[in-house]
A and B are shown apart, each in its own frame.
Chain A
Amino acid sequence: MSQAATATTPLPATARRGGNIGDIIFEWACKGSGLLVLVLLGAIIVELFIAGLPAFRAFGLQFIWSTEWDPVREVFGAGVSIYGTIVTAILAIAFAVPLAFGVAFYLTELAPTWLRGPVGTAIELLAAVPSIIYGMWGFFVIAPAFAAHLQPWIIDNFGELPLVGFLFQGAPFGTGIFTAAFILAIMILPFIAATMRDVFLQVPPVYKESAYGLGATTWEVMKGVVLPYTRVSVVGGVMLGLGRALGETMAVTFVIGNANRISTSIFGPGNTIASLIALEFGESETGSLKLSSLLALGFILFVLSFIVLATSRYLLRSRLKA
Chain B
Amino acid sequence: MNRRSLLLGAGAALALPVVARAQAAQITGAGASFPNPVYQKWAEAARGPTNIQLNYQSVGSGAGINQIRNRTVDFGATDAPLSAQQLTEANLLQFPTVMGSVVPIINVPGIENEQLRLNGEVLAEIFLGKITRWNDAKITALNPGVNLPALAIAPVYRADGSGTTFVFTSYLTAVSADWRGGPGSATSVRWPVGNGARGNEGVAGGVRNTRGGIGYVENAYATTNRLVTVQLRNKAGNFVRPTMDNFLAAASNADWSVPGFAANIIDQAGANSWPIVSPTFILLPTNPQDAARSAAVRRFFDWAFTNGDNLARELEYIPLPDATKTAIRQAWTRQFGA
A binds B: yes
Min CB–CB distance A24 → chain B (angstroms): 41
Residue of A68, A171, A253, A260 ringed by the most chain B CB atoms within 10 A? A171
Q: Establish whether residues A282 and B209, one from each chain, have CB atoms under 8 Å apart when the complex forms.
A: no
Min CB–CB distance B89 → chain A (angstroms): 12
Nearest residue in B to A288 (C-beta to C-beta)? B62
Contacts of A283 in B (CB 8 A): 60-63, 160-162, 187-188
Given A70-B189, A71-B190, A174-B209, are A284 and B184 neighbors across the interface (CB < 8 Å)? no
Q: Establish whether residues A171 and B62, one from each chain, have CB atoms under 8 Å apart when the complex forms.
A: no
Q: Establish whether residues A176 and B195, one from each chain, have CB atoms under 8 Å apart when the complex forms.
A: yes
Contacts of B159 in A (CB 8 A): 253, 258-259, 279
A82 at the interface (CB under 8 A from B): no
A34 to B192, CA, bound (A): 49
Flag B117-144 by CB within 8 Å of A: 1 or 0 each: 0000000000000000000000000000
Which parts of B164-222 form the interface with A (CB within 8 Å)? 183-191, 194-198, 202, 205-206, 209-210, 212
Contacts of B194 in A (CB 8 A): 259, 269
Residue of B63, B65, B185, B212 ringed by the most chain A CB atoms within 10 A? B63
Contacts of B202 in A (CB 8 A): 139, 254
Contacts of B205 in A (CB 8 A): 139-140
Contacts of B69 in A (CB 8 A): 286
Contacts of B162 in A (CB 8 A): 283
Flag A123-149 by CB within 8 Å of B: 1 or 0 each: 000000000000000011001100100
Residue of B162, B183, B184, B194 ringed by the most chain A CB atoms within 10 A? B194
Contacts of A144 in B (CB 8 A): 209
A88 at the interface (CB under 8 A from B): no
Residue of B62, B63, B187 ringed by the most chain A CB atoms within 10 A? B62
B66 at the interface (CB under 8 A from A): yes
B45 at the interface (CB under 8 A from A): no
B111 at the interface (CB under 8 A from A): no
A285 to B69, CA, bound (A): 10
Given A139-B205, A258-B159, A280-B161, are A173 and B186 neighbors across the interface (CB < 8 Å)? no
A31 to B194, CA, bound (A): 53
B271 at the interface (CB under 8 A from A): no
A85 at the interface (CB under 8 A from B): no
Contacts of A269 in B (CB 8 A): 194-196
Q: Establish whether residues B190 and A175, one from each chain, have CB atoms under 8 Å apart when the complex forms.
A: no
Residue of B154, B159, B161, B194 ringed by the most chain A CB atoms within 10 A? B159
Q: Establish whether residues A258 and B161, one from each chain, have CB atoms under 8 Å apart when the complex forms.
A: no
Q: Establish whether residues B198 and A254, one from each chain, have CB atoms under 8 Å apart when the complex forms.
A: yes
Q: Establish whether residues A71 and B196, one from each chain, have CB atoms under 8 Å apart when the complex forms.
A: no
A63 at the interface (CB under 8 A from B): no
Min CB–CB distance B133 → chain A (angstroms): 11
Flag A148-184 by CB within 8 Å of B: 1 or 0 each: 0000000000000000000000010111100000000
A286 to B69, CA, bound (A): 9
Nearest residue in A to B160 (C-beta to C-beta)? A279
A255 to B69, CA, bound (A): 35
Given A144-B209, A147-B210, A283-B63, are A72 and B190 neighbors across the interface (CB < 8 Å)? yes
A105 at the interface (CB under 8 A from B): no
B254 at the interface (CB under 8 A from A): no
Q: Which of the residues A72, A282, A286 comes within 8 Å of B160, measured between beta carbons?
A: A282
Contacts of A278 in B (CB 8 A): 160
Min CB–CB distance A138 → chain B (angstroms): 11
Given A72-B185, A282-B63, are A258 and B70 neighbors across the interface (CB < 8 Å)? no
B59 at the interface (CB under 8 A from A): yes
Q: Establish whether residues B195 and A173, one from each chain, have CB atoms under 8 Å apart when the complex forms.
A: yes
Flag A52-76 by CB within 8 Å of B: 1 or 0 each: 0000000000000000111111000
Q: Which of the residues B61, B66, B186 comes within 8 Å of A286, measured between beta carbons?
A: B66
Min CB–CB distance B134 → chain A (angstroms): 13
A283 to B63, CA, bound (A): 6
Q: Establish whether residues A282 and B198, one from each chain, have CB atoms under 8 Å apart when the complex forms.
A: no
Q: Establish whether residues B196 and A259, one from each chain, have CB atoms under 8 Å apart when the complex forms.
A: yes
B152 at the interface (CB under 8 A from A): yes
Given A279-B159, A286-B69, are A257 and B190 neighbors across the interface (CB < 8 Å)? no
Q: Establish whether residues A282 and B62, one from each chain, have CB atoms under 8 Å apart when the complex forms.
A: yes
A199 to B194, CA, bound (A): 45
**Chain A contact residues, CB within 8 Å of chain B:** 68-73, 139-140, 143-144, 147, 171, 173-176, 253-254, 257-260, 269, 278-286
Nearest 9 pairs between A and B by C-beta?
A283-B161, A282-B60, A258-B196, A258-B159, A72-B184, A283-B62, A257-B195, A283-B187, A279-B160
Between A and B, 24 residue pairs with Cβ closer than 8 Å are A70-B189, A71-B188, A72-B183, A73-B184, A171-B154, A173-B206, A174-B209, A175-B195, A253-B159, A254-B202, A258-B159, A259-B191, A260-B191, A269-B194, A269-B196, A279-B196, A281-B63, A282-B59, A282-B60, A282-B62, A282-B161, A283-B63, A285-B62, A286-B66
Q: A140-B205, A253-B198, A259-B191 are in contact. List 15 more A-B contacts (CB 8 A).
A: A70-B190, A72-B185, A139-B202, A173-B210, A175-B195, A257-B196, A269-B194, A279-B160, A279-B196, A280-B160, A282-B59, A282-B60, A282-B63, A283-B62, A285-B66
**Chain B contact residues, CB within 8 Å of chain A:** 59-63, 65-66, 69-70, 152, 154, 159-162, 183-191, 194-198, 202, 205-206, 209-210, 212
